[in-house]
Structure 1
Amino acid sequence: MATVSSLPAPALEASRAALSIAIDQNPPPASKDGENEDGEVQEVDMQAQAEGIRTVFNDPTNFNVKHPLYSSWTLWFDSPATKGRNLPQTPISAFPQTPLPQTPGPAAAHGWMEDIKRVISFDSVEEFWGLYNNIVPPSQLPPKANYYLFKEGIIPAWEDDANKNGGKWSIQLPKDKNRGNVDNFWLYTMLAAIGETFDPELTTADPAGPPPESLITGVIVSTRPQFYRISIWTRLSPASGAEDDPLRQRIERIGRHFKTGVLGYQENQKLNAPLATEVEFLSHKDSEKKGKGAKKIVV
């Protein structure tokens, strides 16, 4: 008897795609000469083949299909409930966790890093959806909670070597008007990050040359009493305000893709309103100035 899937539509599509690719890449073994006794090509029982495929959706512990991501990622989490706690407390409800090393130390001396908990690391499409389907969505998080999705080995702190010369694109949205949108905004932001679609240099670079390093180090969603904030962190920021600066142009393309391709706004649409901001870029060094002489890029 067929059952109705309870997976969200994007997860269901990913599951079906994973199954289809797995079948294509793992054909059943043929006879020694590839034919049966009558000299005809052996018929493939696709249903039987499919029954042997296990993804994270139907077996979260022993799945045998993995589609690797370009990079490995780690999800971090903090909220008022994690402050001052020595034991990990995560919003995971069912997805099995693997042992992780303790939080690295360079930024821990600054206090707040001691309260951030590493949830889980993953490096495949299946593991991502298994994680996503078993964590609390941003719309249901308490105020002052944050999810940090960063490339493995990068701490979600300005002081990390991968972040210290960079900055962030961010947008702030009123909570009462965006409670129904923020979960999708966060999902699409994560998908763009792990799919490496934010940085155009990765897809336009010369295939014959060395692969360029992505500017993206991580993405964050934050809940506050009156608004949500979503951010994309970069490993570099423009040193000058010149519009013809190649790095500035590259940074701006990331921001435009965030605004139009991920969040779904029109390129020239104005978003600034009470408790809301435009899609804005600010270097981490300028962020420390708290608005004094800070140079923003707005798309």
Structure 2
Amino acid sequence: MHRRWLLSALALLMSIFLAACTTATTQQPSTKITNPTETTNTNSQQLSKGSAKRVVALSSLSADIISRLDQTKIVGITGSKLFKDDSKFKDIPRVSEGQSPPNLEKVVALKPDLVIGAEGFSNIPIQKLQQLGIPTLLTKVNNWESLEELTKKLAVLINADPQPLLNRYKTFLPEKPTQGFSTLALVSRQPILAPNKNSWAGDLLAKFQAKNIAADLQGKSPVGGYVTLSAEKVLEANPEVIILVNPPQGNSEAGLLDSLKKEAFWQQLQATKNNRVYVFDYYGLVNPGSIDAIEKACQQLKQALFVKQGT
């Protein structure tokens, strides 16, 4: 069961963080928002201020941002579990479900003047839509600054004011920096996989002044922004706080924790001894997912990192 979870987790991580086998060795983390209509296809219209009035979003984060900037501009979204109980998206057509590719016929039928995809995941459908002359935008959010820049970019395209949303983002972060605890975030057991500073999770930890043990490590992990660690390395670092991440599919909070409890080194760690092990959802910490997911992750980080040792 753990192997099955790992394979699904790695597959989703790789698709979102530009780590597909064919490109993992050449792509580098960046805050740049790429507009493929400018770089790979000359047939699509150039995007300009206020040009987008019918937007289809192939990523949950872009769909959420657009809907918060101007609900009337979003006409199609990806079928994400994050929106299952969200009334804002109740009547908006789904063009995909889960990790399935989007149905391009459904996308075209919505007559969009902009389709937004996630770089590394939506590249193929975006290229096909370009060939049909539909304006497209590929985005990548792997740090806080790129989240803000994406919000500003989308606001320009749909002629909306980004400031209220940007102001809300600021409320998620700690007001006063504090001396952080040594921290290790883990997303899998075999291999032991942790985010470095070139990932959304790593950057978020830095925003909360956590001393991320894996921040400056580099390795041969197949997942961009993540490194593999040995049990010896974890024991040597001996973090004060450990954050475990739920698998992207599944509802069990105990899975990874129960698995790690079987490791000989686990009970020797000070985080374990001091009961400073916290379980987070995949959305918000590993994959930004949505604004609410980000806010929840930030609230959890405040609780995990700003509490005194032993309390």
What is the TM-score normalised by the length of structure 2? 0.26
Greater percentage in helix: 2
Point out which structure has higher relative CO (alpha carbons under 8 A, 6+ apart).
2
